Structure 1
Amino acid sequence: MDHKPMRNTYLPYGRQWIDNDDIEAVVNVLKSDYLTTGPAVSKFEQEIANYVGAKYAVSFSNGTAALHGACFAAGISIGDEVITTPITFAASANCVLYLGGKPIFVDIDPKTYNINPKEIEKQITNKTKAIIPVDFTGQPVDLEEIYAIAKKYGLVVIEDAAHALGAKYKGKKVGSISDMTMFSFHPVKHITSGEGGMITTNNKEYYEKMLQFRSHGITRDPNKMIENHGPWYYEMQFLGFNYRLTDIQAALGTSQLKKIDQFIELRKKYAEMYNAAFATIPQITIPYQHAEAESSWHLYIIRLNQDLLKAKRKEIVEHLLSMNIGVNVHYIPVYLLPYYQQLGFQKGLCPQAEALYEEIITLPLFPKMSELDVSDVIQAVKKIVSYYSI
């Protein structure tokens, strides 16, 4: 097959969109009295809380740190078990290990690719402390069914919504429903602060624990201190971490948030273009859209459903990359990673997740793409599928 690039420039699977307003917001902070954690951080937290409809929001240096803080607030400790999905980035499970807990991987729904609620209850033991469902690609999990299980067994739900800022479940925005919800502001996400994460919650106790956790376990609140030596005094009351966001990052995030609706509309538009182009190609399965969930389309994933194509997935990816189409694969099931294999997890644990991994390709999807970019991707995919289907 011809390896000639289809495009003169490389099209990544994701990319940030920074404009002059974003740059001005950051410059204003650079000229101010605060560079680290100051008023811009508080403003960003309030804006995110208002946007999703939550009472509280706590920012962190990144999404992984945010999950760590949420697990701490939930009281996860040595020996506790936490149920999650293998189709996610490693952080969704690593955050449990950080506190001495054990992630329990539950297989996915073969239609939505999200954790299968029907499989969750089978894995609950007297050690189970929480569930970390992941809104994979931006499509919310079935929160109603998951919450019914959580309520029955007294479990905390920490929703990993790194992909799902702006998504809705039964008309309510993700971030206002779960006990705690994590958002990521990495550059490929819906909005960016460079690096950054946020937990939203309606629980004041969780909120206060996370504030202290992200700052070394230190408090300056006289009402919480054991002693008080004077206005300079502070107490480190437990072993926390330095997980704070900076005002520089928060200013960028706040500026980006003003454009979130525009960004999501463009993502939806391009996803619809892909759907229209690929829906009639029998060798490809397009993403399933749950009737009660409104995706914010972080990722667009096609699934190869012909044996010949599945066998040639690596070559297909390589050919697309050679054409300057920046495809990727999300994700390797977490428990197949070498570190998790060393912990005793074995292949075959989640058959649906493993089958999915072997058959999917992530196509470029981000707001700063043009319709011509989308057309280039469609043309390249059709060409390759046609070639390998012969």
Structure 2
Amino acid sequence: MIPNYKVQVPQESIDLIVEVLKSGWIGGDGPKVKEFETKIAEIVGNKNILALNSGTSALQLALRIAGVSGGEVVSTPMTCFATNAAIAQEGADIVWTDIDPETGNIDPYDIAKRVTKRTRAIMIVHWGGFPCDLDLINKIAKVFNIPVIEDAAQALGSEYKGKPIGIHSDYVAFSTQAIKIINTADGGLLATKRRKDWETAKRLRWYGIDRDKRIDGPTFWHYPIKETGSKMQMTDILAALGLGQLPYLDDILKHRRKIAKIYDKAIDNNKNLKRQKVIEGAKPNYWIYTVITQGNKHRLELYEKLKSIGVRAEEAHRRNDLYPVFKKYKKEELPGVARFDESEIIVPVGQWVTEEKADQIAQVLANF
């Protein structure tokens, strides 16, 4: 069965990991972590990059620095549970916001309706690596003087209006978890617009310690610690795993976009299906390829058709606002979420999908 997700570990990663194991520095914030941060900074065009132990940690740091505790965060229910779990963990109330059922992304106009005096941040998610309307969202945020946090867990390599995701908003959180386009087994990255926020995040990812301000004594050393953080660093072993994959990033993106075009053509000739809409100025990385069916029954029928040719189709995420853990937050009428949640299904688009297999999948999509 051809999967939607597959771990990719090239020989270069293995060689670098062995090198790290022999170096004596296998823990956090070592030379490989710094090298990984530098190379990611070049890819996204933002020097304010921190490597972390997870994408969730990146979200939590952004929320902490934004000062959301005790306030509200406007967010989308159509995402991985981790997005909204991070908000709850930081002591903020989640305000559910509708999405555009054609894009799967948060509806900027609905954001404006949900902002109150208690709103401390806007959390957006690039579904499947398809960029949101960042210009409009940041314009709304500027009007209300609140920060935007991009959950770009799925969007490394995506672009918006000719610029990489990672530079448009106050905070951008990437994931390098095992099945992402670039993986470090588990890990994440935080990009900040302001250098001051980067400096704060750098302290908070290691208990609140500023390692550049170490004070040495004859028998011990200490730091002027002024706030408490957590242990959120990426290790050199995991950074090495990611570094070995970076030379392949361009080829990975080209392949995914090529396969996506094959599916696009098939779906565009079928009135029974739709593909996830790409907004003007957006260039997705196609971490996943989302097909929009006519409803759950229709979705299950497509699942069976693809299964018959050895292809795994599945739902990417479930709407978060229905989870019991979030029952204390106000229920909202979210028609876009309801439509998308009952109709989305994803099909394989990774580098393990050959063009020959993609043509076979496309034939099913064209004739379904």
| Fold match by TM threshold 0.5 | yes
Contact 2:269/2:366 (8 A) holds in 1: no
Shift of 1:187: 2.5
Answering whether residue 55 of structure 2 is matched by residue 71 of structure 1, we say: no
Distance in 2, matches of 1:23 and 1:261, equals 20
Report the Cα distance in structure 1 between the residues aligned to 2:360 and 2:232, rounded to whole angstroms. Answer: 41
The question of 1:149 aligning with 2:132 is answered no
Counterpart selection for 2:344 from 350, 360, 378: 360
State the one-letter code of the partner of 1:108: I
How many angstroms does 1:259 deviate by? 1.4
Alignment-derived partner of residue 3 in structure 1: none
- In the TM superposition, residue 322 of structure 1 has moved relative to its aligned partner by 6.0
Q: Which residue, 301, 312, 322 being the options, matches 1:326?
A: 312
Q: 1:74·1:206 contact (CA, 8 Å) conserved in 2?
A: no
1:163 counterpart residue number:
154
Q: 1:338 aligns with which of 321, 324, 329?
A: 324
Deviation at 1:238, TM superposition (A): 2.6
Q: Corresponding residue for 1:99?
A: 90
**Conserved? CA contact 1:302–1:363, under 8 Å:** yes
Q: Which residue of 1 aligns with 2:168?
A: 177
Q: 1:352 is aligned with what amino acid?
A: G
Give 3-state SS (helix, strand or coil) of 1:326's partner: coil
Q: Tell me the equivalent position of 1:373.
A: 357
Aligned residue number for residue 35 of structure 1: 26
In structure 2, which of residues 179, 190, 196 is the aligned counterpart of residue 188 of structure 1? 179
Deviation at 1:323, TM superposition (A): 4.7
Instruction: Tell me which of 60, 78, 87 is aligned to 1:87.
Output: 78
2:132, 2:225 → 1: CA distance?
37
Corresponding letter in the other structure for 2:59: L
CA contact (8 A) 1:92 1:160 kept: yes
Letter in 2 for 1:240: G
Secondary structure in 2 aligned to 1:133?
strand
Give CA-to-partner distance per residue, 1:214-241, whole Å, 9 cap, x none.
1122234438x8xx86661135433321
Q: What is the TM-score of this pair, normalised by structure 2? A: 0.93
Distance 1:40 1:73, change over 3 A: same
**How far is 1:147 from its partner?**
1.0
Given that residues 67 and 95 in structure 1 are in contact (C-alpha distance below 8 angstroms), is that contact kept between their aligned partners in structure 2?
yes
Give the CA deviation at 1:103.
1.5
The aligned runs of 1:1-390 (5 Å cut-off) are 10-37=1-28, 38-77=30-69, 79-222=70-213, 232-305=221-294, 310-314=296-300, 316-317=302-303, 320-321=306-307, 323-341=309-327, 343-346=328-331, 349-381=333-365, 385=368
1:13·1:366 contact (CA, 8 Å) conserved in 2?
yes
CA contact (8 A) 2:275 2:290 kept: yes
RMSD of equivalent CA atoms = 2.0
SS of residue in 2 equivalent to 1:259: helix
Q: Percent identity?
A: 32
- SS in structure 2 at match of 1:112: coil
Q: Offset at 1:344?
A: 4.2
1:321 and 1:212 map into 2 onto residues whose CA distance is 49
* Contact 1:46/1:56 (<8 A) preserved: no
Give the residue type in structure 2 aligned to 1:248.
I
Paired letter, 1:357: D
Unaligned runs of 5+ in 2: none
Give the distance between the partners of 1:369 and 1:322, measured in 2 at CA. 16
- Seen in structure 2, the aligned counterparts of structure 1 residues 31 and 102 have a Cα distance that, compared at 3 Å, is same
Measure how far apart 1:316 and its partner are. Answer: 4.0
Q: Kindly tell me: are residues 312 and 140 of structure 1, through their superposed partners in 2, closer, same or farther at Cα, counting changes over 3 Å? A: closer
Whether the 8 Å contact between 2:95 and 2:329 is mirrored in structure 1 is no
Residue aligned with 2:125, SS: coil
Is contact 2:46-2:191 (8 Å) kept?
yes
Quick check: 1:60–1:66 contact (8 Å CA) kept in 2?
yes
For residues 88-109 of structure 1, the C-alpha deviation after alignment (integer angstroms, 9 at most, x for no partner) is 1112211111111012111112
Partner-residue secondary structure (3-state), 1:50: helix
Moved more, 316-325 or 246-255: 316-325
Q: What stretches of structure 1 move > 4 A for 4+ residues in a row?
A: 228-231, 379-383
Query: Which amino acid letter does the alignment assign opposite residue 251 of structure 2?
Result: Q
Q: Please state how far the C-alpha of 1:314 moved relative to its aligned partner.
A: 3.4
Aligned residues of 2:130 and 2:286 also touching (Cα < 8 A): yes
1:388 matched residue in structure 2? none
AA aligned to 2:337 is A
Query: What is the one-letter code of the residue matched to 1:372?
Result: E
Task: Check the 8 A contact 1:56/1:207 in 2, yes or no.
Answer: yes
**Secondary structure of the corresponding residue to residue 82 of structure 1:** strand
Pair 45,105 (structure 1): closer, same or farther in 2 beyond 3 Å: same
Q: Distance in 1 between matches of 2:33 and 2:249?
A: 18
